[in-house]
Amino acid sequence: MTPESAPTPAAIPFRRLHPTTLLQGLLRTLPGFVVLLIPVLAGRGGGGHRFFLAMALLYALIGLPATLLAYLRFRYRITPEQVEIVSGILSRQHRSIPIDRIQRVEVDRPLLHRLFGTARVRLMTGSGTGAEGELDAVALDDALAFRATVRRLQARLEQPADPAAESTGVPVEAEEPEAEEVFRLTPGLLLRAGAMRFSLVYIALAFSGMQFVGLTVEDVVDWIERTNLIARIPFFDLSPLLALAFSVGVAVVLSWMAGLLVTVVRFHGFTLRADARRLYTERGLGGRFERAIPRSKVQAVLYGTNPITRRFGYAQLSVQTMGLDDSGAGREVVVPLARLADVSALSGRLLGHPAAEVLRPVSRRFVRRRGLRYTVYVVLGSLLASRVWEPALGGLALVPLAWWLAWAQWRAHGYAFDGRVLVVQHGALWRRQWHLPLAKFQTVERWANLFQRRLGLASVYVDTAGAPDVGAPVVEDLPEEEARALADRLYGAFEALVRARPEPPLPEPALAESPPVPPHGGRLPGEDGEAGTQNSTW
């Protein structure tokens, strides 16, 4: 029976999974069970014997009934508007996935399923967290029918003229057949990109690499002396600290060369092309790597700089994407290195809007909070380390550095919102500037912890699809009133944008007799007695 033959959504019955789900579930736990029983089966007695028997008993008393109950509890159904899944034994869950949110229906058949003639159905909504709904083991025909039903329902919901979808992109001529080249990384830029790369990771790697090949500080010194690269420097013998500094210097040079090499290999011949719908990047030495990024999937644009590129007026441009592949979220470099002006012009083209030039600083009390926090880290770290290694107490000398860092971070931190794009910048050394277009906002959040409240501060954050968890574009420590006003403005602007858009019609349950929809404006409360029964269908 296919669901759409049912008269009304409310009457569509919930279905269970295929009965062999139960058997399959048990089979899957069997290997673990056998491992548990090996000592018993092997006949080796002793004290452990009873323990393993007890485990087996536990499995029989808890594991088996749990599998059975989980099977009995699990129900699903597909109505014209949504897929509903009821599951859970102790913690129960009733999940509703709107049909139009389902991006993919995967039907696959791992070994066990093939043996039993069943299939597994997984529903992805593109929120990037794996399958939002999973039907483990339904009959193959049912699985295929399920997928077909979802597709048919989606086709029905789809509007004839796809509105809104591309309206956030740049209005480039839609008829353009060839993607236009937007950026090319010249050999000169490539070398500069490599040379200005500045990564602690590589320094650490170089160091551990030296450790790995057994290259000690003394070896390096010896080697330099032997090869007469530089004249024998007698003061190496005087102080181990000097030798250490020299070794660090070698690590830095090695890492610099490694960074240069990696950059050249990675970005050799990099080009960026764009048409109305997609961005195309091409890169790589030897093998060519091509990537197409649908412009509608671009969630945010960000500039990255480090102290060296900043000093010379260069930046890197990346886009934050969503739903490009199975991993969902990601960041793609679209310009490895270019003059800041070029980067900003390109980002303006991507967002269809020039970037805000002037950023508003956050409260100066930011420095106090950060400085205190880093001081606590430094002091605690030094004290703890000094219990193991006495000289670590010297770490306390880093306290001024902590305050300098806090101040530098305050200087780097700022935001701007012109009604269309939220710009957030942070990072004292590696600096990032995020450009979040209004149309891609997910949620707006404002918070203040106890310490912030004491100082009259609050933070504001706009969540986007694919945003990083660590280093997210939070506007930290605004004065409370400003934070409140900003959050309200951000959400207000988002709703204004949404209201201004052509409204997609509400999903019409055309497949079934639709329940009586009240006229615009609703009905008077209690006007008719059916109001109560209607609740469950809408």
Partner 1 sequence: MPSDPIPALAVTVDSAPVLAPRTLEPAMERLEPSVRTVWRAQVALWWIPLVLAAVVYDVTQLVRGAGPFPFAVTVVAALAAVWFIGVLPALRYRFWRYAATEEALFAERGWFTRVRTVVPLRRVQHIDVAENLFEREVGLARLVVHTAGTRNNTVVVPGLRRERAEALRDAMRAYLADDPL
Residues of span 64-103 touching partner 1 by CB under 8 A: 81-82, 88, 90-98, 100-101
The candidate with the shortest Cα–Cα distance to 63, out of 98, 26, 99, 88, is: 26
User: Judged by CB under 8 A, does residue 160 bind partner 1?
Assistant: no
Q: Which is nearer to partner 1, 90 or 174 (CB)?
A: 90
CB of 365 to partner 1, least distance (A): 17
Say how many residues make up the chain. Answer: 538
Q: Which is nearer to partner 1, 5 or 93 (CB)?
A: 93
User: Judged by CB under 8 A, does residue 327 bind partner 1?
Assistant: no
CB of 119 to partner 1, least distance (A): 22
CB of 538 to partner 1, least distance (A): 5
Site string for partner 1, 107-146 (x = CB under 8 A): ------------------xxxxx--x--------------
Q: Any idea what DSSP says for residue 15?
A: B
Rounded to a whole number of angstroms, the distance between the first and last alpha carbons of the chain is 23
Phi, psi for residue 474 in degrees, rounded to 5: -90, 135
Subset of 293-322 contacting partner 1 (CB under 8 A): 296-297, 299, 322
Subset of 199-218 contacting partner 1 (CB under 8 A): none
CB of 61 to partner 1, least distance (A): 19
Q: Any idea what DSSP says for residue 79?
A: -
Q: Any idea what DSSP says for residue 103?
A: -
User: Judged by CB under 8 A, does residue 536 bind partner 1?
Assistant: yes
The neighbouring-strand residues paired with 414 are 361, 425
User: Judged by CB under 8 A, does residue 491 bind partner 1?
Assistant: yes
CB of 130 to partner 1, least distance (A): 11
Q: Any idea what DSSP says for residue 59?
A: I
Q: Which is nearer to partner 1, 56 or 276 (CB)?
A: 276
The neighbouring-strand residues paired with 281 are 272, 291
The candidate with the shortest Cα–Cα distance to 473, out of 306, 351, 301, is: 301
Neighbours of 481 (CB within 10 A): 10
User: Judged by CB under 8 A, does residue 424 bind partner 1?
Assistant: no
Q: And the tokens for 133?
A: 């709904």
* DSSP of 143-201: HHHHHHHHHHHHHHHS-SS--STTTTS----TT--SPEEEEE--HHHHHHHHHT---HH
Q: 164, 215, 252, 257: which one contacts partner 1 (CB under 8 A)? A: 164
By CB atoms closer than 10 A (0-12, 13-18, 19+), residue 168 is middle
Q: 442, 456, 482, 514: which one contacts partner 1 (CB under 8 A)? A: 442
Q: 334, 441, 457, 476: which one contacts partner 1 (CB under 8 A)? A: 441
CB of 152 to partner 1, least distance (A): 16
Q: Residues 314, 301: contact at Cβ < 8 Å?
A: no
Rounded-to-integer distance, Cα 533 and Cα 281, Å: 55
User: Judged by CB under 8 A, does residue 476 bind partner 1?
Assistant: no
Rounded-to-integer distance, Cα 509 and Cα 516, Å: 11
Rounded-to-integer distance, Cα 31 and Cα 34, Å: 5
User: Judged by CB under 8 A, does residue 186 bind partner 1?
Assistant: no
User: Judged by CB under 8 A, does residue 329 bind partner 1?
Assistant: yes
The candidate with the shortest Cα–Cα distance to 75, out of 84, 66, 67, is: 84
Q: Which is nearer to partner 1, 315 or 329 (CB)?
A: 329
Q: Which is nearer to partner 1, 357 or 469 (CB)?
A: 469
User: Judged by CB under 8 A, does residue 495 bind partner 1?
Assistant: yes
Q: 152, 427, 472, 482: which one contacts partner 1 (CB under 8 A)? A: 472
User: Judged by CB under 8 A, does residue 165 bind partner 1?
Assistant: yes
Subset of 330-389 contacting partner 1 (CB under 8 A): none
Q: Which is nearer to partner 1, 193 or 460 (CB)?
A: 460
Phi, psi for residue 302 in degrees, rounded to 5: -140, 140
* DSSP of 107-153: EE--HHHHHHTEEEEEEE-SSSSS-SEEEEEEEHHHHHHHHHHHHHH
The candidate with the shortest Cα–Cα distance to 351, out of 413, 433, 286, is: 433
User: Judged by CB under 8 A, does residue 487 bind partner 1?
Assistant: yes
The neighbouring-strand residues paired with 87 are 93
Q: 67, 203, 494, 511: which one contacts partner 1 (CB under 8 A)? A: 494
Q: How many residues bind partner 1 (CB under 8 A)?
A: 74
Subset of 218-277 contacting partner 1 (CB under 8 A): none
Q: Which is nearer to partner 1, 96 or 239 (CB)?
A: 96
Q: Which is nearer to partner 1, 416 or 493 (CB)?
A: 493
Subset of 499-528 contacting partner 1 (CB under 8 A): 499, 503-504, 506, 517-518, 520-523, 525-526
CB of 477 to partner 1, least distance (A): 13
CB of 432 to partner 1, least distance (A): 15
